[in-house]
């Protein structure tokens, strides 16, 4: 018996709870669940409010959501073109190995090309060898010369409170 077909669709406001569940499941897999502070209202406001900050594609089999891709626009100064940044890609463990992750990435690649975007970027934890192998098999290149940085929480607040540097005298 063959696998049920996978369908992809844009997320709708009624998917907010499922999206939050996927985010928590992904964070748990990445051993980062303690960092998730998003709640249902945050998801509704930031994804489905007047100014959505990202978009989501839901993967379904037999009408049941089994995975998602959350992405947003970015800009490359080197290309002088926009791009897409894949923030989260997640397929529930029972549905992995069926091509769902690949279908989601193919969908995003098509959106990027159709939208005139110059690239599709994302990050992956160094220890996540199954995902790294999957991305390499798709032809994705690791950006070995780059280190990702982040300011968040207290460090972000502290930097924001600092006075700008004095202008050089000339």
Q: Is 135 a catalytic residue?
A: yes
Q: Give the chain's largest Cα–Cα span.
A: 77
DSSP string covering the chain: -PPPPEEEEE--GGGHHHHHHHHHHHHHHTT-GGG----HHHHHHHHHSSS-S-EEEEEEETTEEEEEEEEEEEEETTTTEEEEEEEEEEE-GGGTTSSHHHHHHHHHHHHHHHTT-S-EEE---TT-HHHHHHHHHTT----TT-------HHHHHHHHHSPPPPPPP-
Find, among 95, 86, 80, the residue nearest to 57 by Cα. 86
- Of 29, 71, 75, 135, catalytic: 135
Which position has the token pair 């009624």? Answer: 14
* Residues carrying an active site annotation: 135
């Amino acid at each position: 018996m063959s696998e049920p077909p996978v369908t992809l669709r844009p997320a709708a406001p009624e998917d907010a709870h499922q999206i939050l569940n996927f985010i928590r499941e992904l964070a748990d897999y990445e051993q980062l669940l303690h960092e998730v502070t998003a709640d249902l209202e945050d998801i509704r406001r930031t994804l489905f409010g007047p100014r959505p900050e990202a978009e989501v594609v839901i993967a379904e089999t037999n009408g049941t959501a089994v995975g998602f891709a959350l992405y947003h626009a970015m800009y490359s100064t080197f290309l002088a073109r926009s791009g897409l940044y894949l923030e989260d890609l997640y397929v529930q463990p029972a549905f992995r190995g069926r091509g769902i992750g690949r279908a989601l990435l193919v969908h995003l690649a098509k959106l990027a090309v159709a939208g005139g975007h110059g690239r599709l970027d994302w990050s992956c934890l160094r220890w996540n060898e199954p995902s790294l192998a999957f991305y390499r098999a798709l032809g994705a290149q690791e950006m070995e010369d780059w280190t990702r940085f982040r300011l968040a929480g207290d460090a972000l607040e502290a930097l924001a409170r600092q006075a700008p540097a004095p202008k050089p005298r000339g």
